[in-house]
Each structure stands twice: as C-alpha cells, then as structure tokens.
Amino acid sequence: MDQAWQIPATMSESRGKHITEVMNTYSKRLMGFIRKRVKSEADAEDILQDVFYQFMGNTKPIEQLTSWLFTVTRNKITDKKRKKKPELLEDIYQTNGEESFEWSDLFFDDKNNPETDYIRSIFWDALYAALNELPAPQREAFVLNEIEGISFKDIAEQSGETINTLISRKRYAVLHLRERLSSLRDELLNQS
C-alpha cells in the first residue's frame, strides 16, 4: 500500500482519483490518531483538513505515504498546541460562574428599556476607562484587532511589529479588561 505517490502539478482526473483514494484510505486512521491527541472534535477536523490540504499541494514524490501522512499529522498537532489562540472580546465579558448575568446579553437585547441602556452605558464607560489605563501599545493592539476588526497580519504590516508581539499585547489587554469588567459585573449583581 505504501507506493510512491507523485501528484502532478496540474489537476487531472488521475490526480483527483489518487487524492480521493488516499483520503478514503487514511481518513479514519488519521482521525483516530488525532482525536487521541487533541481536546476537541473541531480541532481534530481542522488538523485532518490541514493534512490533506498539504497532501493535495505537494508536488514532490512521496516514497512512504503512510509515514509521510502520520509525520505531517503529528507536526500539525504540535503546531496546533503551540499556537496560542488570541483572546476575543467575548472572553472578556463571558462569565464562568453560576450567575445568569452575561455581558453579551446586553449587546443582543434589542429591548429599549432604561435599565438595559444604563447598564450598556456603564459597560462602555468601564471598558474605555480600563482601556485608558493600559500602555498605549496594548490598548492599540486591542482596539485595532477587536473593536475595529483589523487582522493581526494587517496591523503587523502597518506597524512593523511581529504578529506574536501584537497577540501578546492584546492578551495583556484582555486580562486587564477582564479583571476590571468582572469587578463591575460583581457590583451590578450585588445591587440586584
């Protein structure tokens, strides 16, 4: 079964058949291998997809296909574990406690009542006050990425900073904001 596979650079009918054959043959085994090493099903599916994407893009001969696939899979798993996912604004206002109050409820509540409007304004005031307490580079990384929706890649190109530096700055900003907003949440819950 481990024959030399060489995928021509242009997509042809035979190339498509080879790719389909390899995917059908190895999908279950690779997925089982991945599932044992990652936490979520979504991560496992992403890794498997990345492996087959790399296989489809490969134009060099593969002498030991099984070995190549499992090596690429192991590398993708390692990459996934090393990569730190940037924290999102959602991470700031989500709570893990038993209380039913969630900041996100304020943004999706389309009822215009004075209490909701007041709490929204308190949230934004607290968020901006907490942002102003941050060092400028951390504040800028957070605002550009989270509030303005600019990708880290684009920010890096504009600023000359590395993506990892920007991610780190945003992470520190998120930690600070989470702490500040959790205090506000606790105050609001204790008043109820």
- DSSP state string for 34-92: HHTT-S-HHHHHHHHHHHHHHHHH--S-BSSHHHHHHHHHHHHHHHHHHSPPPP-HHHH
As annotated, the residues of the chain forming the CATH 1.10.10.10 domain(s) are: 89-191
CATH topology of domain 89-191: Arc Repressor Mutant, subunit A (1.10.10)
- CB atoms under 10 Å from CB of 77, counted, come to 20
132 burial class (0-12, 13-18, 19+ CB within 10 angstroms)?
exposed
As annotated, the residues of the chain forming the CATH 1.10.1740 domain(s) are: 13-82
User: Does CATH place domain 13-82 in 1.10.1740?
Assistant: yes
Q: Which residues pair with 62 in a beta bridge?
A: 5
Tokens representing 164 are 């990892």
pLDDT by position in tens, the chain (length 192): 445 555 444 445 666 677 788 888 898 999 998 988 888 888 889 899 988 888 888 788 888 888 899 889 988 888 887 775 555 555 554 445 444 455 555 555 566 667 777 777 787 788 888 889 999 999 999 888 887 888 889 999 999 999 898 998 988 888 888 888 877 777 766 654
- CB atoms under 10 Å from CB of 99, counted, come to 12
pLDDT given for residue 9 in this prediction: 46
